[in-house]
Amino acid sequence: MSFDKVIIMVYYIDLAMNTHFQDKKTQKPPARVYVAAVIVLFFCTLSSADSVGFVPCGLDGTCVTHSDSVALSSLPMLGVTDASTSAKTALPVRIQIDSVGIDLPVQNPATRDVDALDTLLQQGPARYVDSAKLGEDGNVLIFAHSSHLPIVHNQMFRAFNALPDLKAGDMITIVGDDGKNYLYSVDSVAKADTQSGTTIDLSPTIGKKLTLVTCDTLTGKSARFILTASFVGTI
């Protein structure tokens, strides 16, 4: 819209509203018409320029710019740095398997020495030090003795005697030192041998797992039963 057209438009609006203009041919538009025309033209021009992106800032002083890239440092913090917000873990202090009558304390030794662990197993099941803790991804590995001798004075030598009797779907409760019960569902019970090169996966990529290991004394000294179970939840 041209400046002249704006002046004429505003002038005739003003003329229609003011009846004291008697001679339309001779009277010039008053000064307020020019002022009004300038204001109208300014806002029309501003609106047109903004619609095509020529006006980077608003009337309130806010400027909006657009870019085809963003600095990595402009993004919010994406990692957890506060230990208080990290996943909570716990050590197992008791194992309970109601279906076969197992209810025993669990030890958490820091040693990997086989002879030391063998001595500790006389006091009950133990968690392997490099295995996962309760509540974190990985494999919680707990092992204990089994014995089918007719007379056993220390009943901890029979701690996991009933392990082979468990079947898929049976529930295992591991009590943590945080007071929570961690529930696992049995996946399988399999036989293995220490001489066959069998390994137990302790990596966190397998999810939350539980593995129980005990002797298969009826088969041989190197024979083992390996039970695997998957984490279900906590109560």
CB-based contacts of 11: which residues, under 8 Å, 6+ apart?
29, 33, 37
For tokens 């696992």, what's the residue? 184
C-alpha–C-alpha distance, residues 108 and 224, integer Å? 21
* Higher pLDDT, residue 157 or 4: 157
* pLDDT band at residue 190 using 50, 70 and 90 as cut-offs: very high
Tokens of 34: 């020019």
pLDDT of residue 162: 96
CATH 2.40.260.10 fits 90-234, yes or no: yes
Going 42 to 46 to 48 to 49, the CA torsion angle's sign is positive
C-alpha–C-alpha distance, residues 182 and 94, integer Å? 10
pLDDT of residue 21: 45
3-class SS of residue 150 = coil
Burial of 211 (0-12, 13-18, 19+ CB in 10 A): buried
Q: Which of 62-71, 77-86, 130-139 has the highest mean pLDDT?
A: 130-139
CB-based contacts of 145: which residues, under 8 Å, 6+ apart?
121, 122, 156, 157, 158, 159, 160, 214, 215
* Higher pLDDT, residue 15 or 104: 104
Nearest to 183 by CA among 61, 97, 71, 116: 97
Contact of 214 with 147, CB cutoff 8 Å: no
Going 185 to 188 to 194 to 197, the CA torsion angle's sign is negative
